[in-house]
Amino acid sequence: MFHFMKIHTVPTEEEGSTWLQLFFDLVYVAILVELGNRLSHNLNSEELAVFVLLLIPIWWSWLEFVNYGRRYPVDDIGQRILTVLYMALMLLLAFEIHSLTGTTTTTFLVTYGFSKFVLALMYGRAWINYPAYRRSTSSKAAAFTTVGVLWIAVAVFAPSSYWLWVIVVIVGAFTPSLIQLFHGLTSQADVPEPPIKYHFKVHRFGELTIIVLGEFFIKLATSSSGRELMVINYLIGAGLLGISLSLWWLYFDHLEHARLSKTGWRLWVWTYSHFPYMAAITAYGVVGNQIFAAPPRGPLDDTKRLLFTIALATAVLAYGVIEWAAKERDEPLARSPQPWIRLGAAAALLFVGFLSGSLNVGWLVALVAAILLLQVGLDIYERLQRPQPETAQVPATGFSGQQV
């Protein structure tokens, strides 16, 4: 049985994600869809705060899975079984997240706690398969077991205490590092870590980002099914497409050239800047769908207008931090970070949000799209200013096979 679990049915993927990891991302997006649906049904500041609070442990669970795959790229039958079990638990979270009250909150937290036990089992298998790194894998297995117990304890004794949720998330974030630090202080030798697949994180974050951006248009198409559309609706749709295209263009053109640090605080900043970015584009998808369904010739209500512009301003600012933390390689068509342009765009979006209360929906979307498309234009201009010798060859791999 033990030998069966270690069988590989396909060659090991050395560069990017496995097909199962991509499948996992698609299942994971189901949680984001349900989070967005929850927010769209009650669009106010209190529900927005709950949306962000719920997204923290959800996003963190995805990141923990990514961090495991980054150091232990195993795709044998045993790992596939554990991954599918993790996916099943994530789907159960999606079923429960829409209305977290009473018993559903308890179910949500117990399920989340069991997901930590699955991660502990993954590190337990790594402890068996990678003897040289047993101090590291044992630390993480112990940490995830402890955190899983804490989540279940919260579910039993205080499921509705969001403050306890925050505390356990913080404990979960630092427990593996603290246990590893303890091992380091009590031993003469450093705690060895396996080699990192440096570009693996670039792939994983890029894949999740593009799925979330695309999911917005799936919801837009399904929610408009059977509805009679006018010319103005198509124009608003074109504006929303321009906004999404701008987010895609800026992020992925940068990712194509990005030089992600192997370790250190820049890697930390790059990683965690993706949380506000992901929260912002998810919220943009929620309100964008409502904008498309709104009466096109009248102004938006204050809540939708402000969420629309604040979400996009947050996305632009978070992207500015992302591009600063992973500066681009010295190569043709690369450019330096543009923090002042990002700050200017975010300020313009906030200005529009707070001072355009009487503007109708069409003009609001057009103005916001113009601000973001201008970012793309400046990005293209900056890249074309880069001196390029006639013999320079633009790399053909980049995101799908870059060295970072």
If the chain, 404 residues long, is cut into consecutive pieces of 10 residues, what is the mean pLDDT of each piece? 49 65 88 87 85 90 90 85 94 81 79 96 91 87 93 87 84 73 59 71 90 87 75 89 96 89 81 94 92 82 92 97 90 88 96 89 94 95 75 49 45
| Residue 89 resides in a domain | yes
Are 211 and 350 found together in one domain?
Answer: yes
Are 173 and 226 found together in one domain?
Answer: no
| Residue 218 resides in a domain | yes
| Residue 193 resides in a domain | no
Per-residue pLDDT, 183? 58
Per-residue pLDDT, 190? 62
Per-residue pLDDT, 4? 45
* Rounded CA separation 140/126 (Å): 10
Are 213 and 171 found together in one domain?
Answer: no
Q: Using alpha carbons only, how large is the chain's radius of gyration in Å?
A: 23
Per-residue pLDDT, 258? 87
Per-residue pLDDT, 10? 46
In total, the chain counts a number of residues equal to 404
Are 92 and 173 found together in one domain?
Answer: yes
Domain boundary, last residue among 143, 161, 185: 185
- Which residues is 258 bridged to in the sheet? 328
- DSSP label at residue 15: S
Using CA of residue 24, residue 113, residue 88, residue 13, what is the dihedral sign? Answer: positive
Are 260 and 224 found together in one domain?
Answer: yes
Domain boundary, last residue among 185, 212, 241: 185
Are 169 and 213 found together in one domain?
Answer: no
* Rounded CA separation 61/147 (Å): 12
* Rounded CA separation 168/151 (Å): 7
| Residue 370 resides in a domain | yes
| Residue 114 resides in a domain | yes
Contact, 284 vs 315, CB < 8 A?
Answer: yes
* Rounded CA separation 308/160 (Å): 29
Per-residue pLDDT, 390? 57
Are 172 and 206 found together in one domain?
Answer: no
Torsion angle of the four alpha carbons 283, 288, 289, 290, in this order, in degrees rounded to the nearest 10: 100
The residue range of the domain holding 208 is 200-387+395-400
**158: which 2 tokens?**
């205080």
Are 268 and 236 found together in one domain?
Answer: yes
Are 207 and 151 found together in one domain?
Answer: no
* Rounded CA separation 240/233 (Å): 11
Contact, 107 vs 96, CB < 8 A?
Answer: yes
| Residue 86 resides in a domain | yes
Are 112 and 78 found together in one domain?
Answer: yes
| Residue 194 resides in a domain | no
Are 71 and 95 found together in one domain?
Answer: yes
Amino acid at 14: E
- Number of structural domains found in the chain: 2
| Residue 190 resides in a domain | no
* Rounded CA separation 99/38 (Å): 8
Domain boundary, last residue among 150, 185, 220: 185
Per-residue pLDDT, 399? 47
- Look up the pTM and report it: 0.87
* Rounded CA separation 1/6 (Å): 9
Are 33 and 66 found together in one domain?
Answer: yes
Look-up of token digits 């101090």? 135
